[in-house]
Amino acid sequence: MDMIGRARQLQQSGRPADASLLLRQAVAAAPDLAEAHHHLALVLQPVAVPALVERLIARAVRCAPGQPEARANLSLAQCDLRRHDAAEVSARWAVVLNPAYANGHANLGRILKEQVRVREAVACLRRVVQLHPAAVLGWINLGDGLDEAGRIEAALAANRTALSIDPAAPPAWNNLGHVLQGRGDPAAARALRRAIQLSPNYAAAHLNLGMDLLLHGEMEEGWREFEWWRASIPALGWKGAPHLRWTGQDLRGRTLLIRGEQGLGDMLQFARYASLFARAGARVVLEVHPPLTRLLASVPGVAQTVPMGMPLPPHDYHLQMMSVPGLLGTRLDTIPADIPYLAADPAEIETWRGRLSALPGLKVGLVWAGNPRANDPRTRLVDSRRSMALTRLAPVLDIPGISVVSLQKGETAAQIDDLPPALRPFDAMGEVKDFADTAALCANLDLVISVDTSVVHLAGALGKPVWILSRHDGCWRWLLDRDDSPWYPTARLFRQKTPGDWDEVVARIAEALLSLRDTPRP
Q: Is the pLDDT of residue 176 over 50?
A: yes
500 belongs to a structural domain? yes
3-class secondary-structure state, position 367: strand
* Same domain, residue pair 353 and 433: yes
CB 44 within 8 A of CB 57: no
Last residue of a domain, one of 203, 234, 265: 234
Is 466 contained in some domain? yes
Percent of the chain having pLDDT more than 90? 70
Average of per-residue pLDDT across 108-136: 93
| pLDDT > 70? residue 215 | yes
Q: How far is CA 19 from CA 5, 14, 48, 70, 77, in A?
A: 10, 9, 14, 19, 20
H helices present in 98-149, as ranges:
102-114, 118-131, 136-148
Same domain, 356 and 322: no
Task: Tell whether 5 is covered by a domain.
Answer: no
Residue 107 domain-assigned (yes or no): no
Which of 370, 400, 424, 418 has its CA nearest to residue 510? 400
Tell me the pLDDT band of 1, cut-offs 50, 70 and 90.
very low
Higher pLDDT, 43 or 443: 443
Q: Domain range holding 252?
A: 245-334
Q: Are 249 and 316 in the same domain?
A: yes
CATH value at residue 434? 3.40.50.2000
Whether pLDDT at 236 is above 70: no
Give the residue from 292, 246, 251, 294 showing the smallest Cα distance to 275. 251
Our CA angle for 113, 468, 392, nearest 5°, is 65
- Predicted TM-score of the model (pTM): 0.87
pLDDT tens, 71-110? 888 888 888 888 889 999 999 999 999 999 999 999 999 9
The DSSP symbol for 314 reads P
Q: Which of 5-19, 53-67, 159-173, 368-382 has the highest mean pLDDT?
A: 159-173
CB-neighbour burial class of residue 91 (10 A; exposed 0-12, middle 13-18, buried 19+): buried
Q: Is residue 101 part of a domain?
A: no
Q: How confident is the model at residue 32 (pLDDT cuts 50, 70, 90)?
A: low
- CA–CA separation, 482 vs 353, rounded Å? 34
In this structure, is the dihedral angle defined by the CA atoms of residues 324, 325, 329 and 334, taken in order, positive or negative? positive
**What pLDDT sits at residue 404?**
98
Which amino acid, residue 247?
Answer: T
- pLDDT reported for residue 220: 94
300 plus 207 within the same structural domain: no
Rounded average pLDDT over 287-307: 96
Q: How many residues does the chain have?
A: 522
Average pLDDT over residues 345-372: 94
Residue 22 has a pLDDT of 52
Best CA proximity match to 68, nearest among 91, 88, 36: 91
Least confident of 103-117, 272-286, 330-344, 412-426: 103-117
Instruction: Assess whether pLDDT exceeds 70 at residue 350.
Output: yes
Q: CA torsion sign, 10 to 16 to 17 to 19?
A: positive
Integer Cα distance of 399 and 227 in angstroms: 46
User: Would you say residue 455 lies in a domain?
Assistant: yes
CATH code where residue 182 lies:
1.25.40.10
Average pLDDT over residues 167-182: 95
- Asked if residue 413 and residue 302 are part of one domain, the reply reads no
Taking every pair of Cα atoms in the chain, the longest distance, rounded to a whole number of angstroms, is 91
Asked if residue 446 and residue 323 are part of one domain, the reply reads no
Residue in 112, 114, 38, 31 with CA at minimum distance from that of residue 71: 38
| % of residues, the chain, pLDDT over 70 | 88
210 and 249 share a domain? Answer: no
3-state secondary structure of 144: helix
In the chain, the number of structural domains is 3
Averaged over 409-430, what is the pLDDT?
94
In DSSP terms, which residues pair with 467 in a beta bridge?
449, 492
In this structure, the answer to whether residues 409 and 506 fall within a common structural domain is: yes
Query: Domain of 309: which CATH number?
Result: 3.40.50
Q: Distance (Å, rounded) from C-alpha 449 to C-alpha 509?
A: 9
Asked whether 426 and 406 are in contact (CB, 8 A), the reply is yes
Whether the ω angle into residue 340 lies within 30 degrees of 0, i.e. cis, is yes
Shared domain for 358 and 277, answered yes or no, is no
Q: Is 116 left (phi over 0), alpha (psi -120 to 50) or beta?
A: left
Task: Assess if residue 88 is contained within a domain.
Answer: no
CA distance 387 to 394: 15
In terms of domains, do 393 and 471 share one? yes
Assess if residue 257 is contained within a domain: yes
What pLDDT band is residue 373 in, cutting at 50, 70 and 90?
low
| Cα(383)–Cα(372) distance, integer angstroms | 5
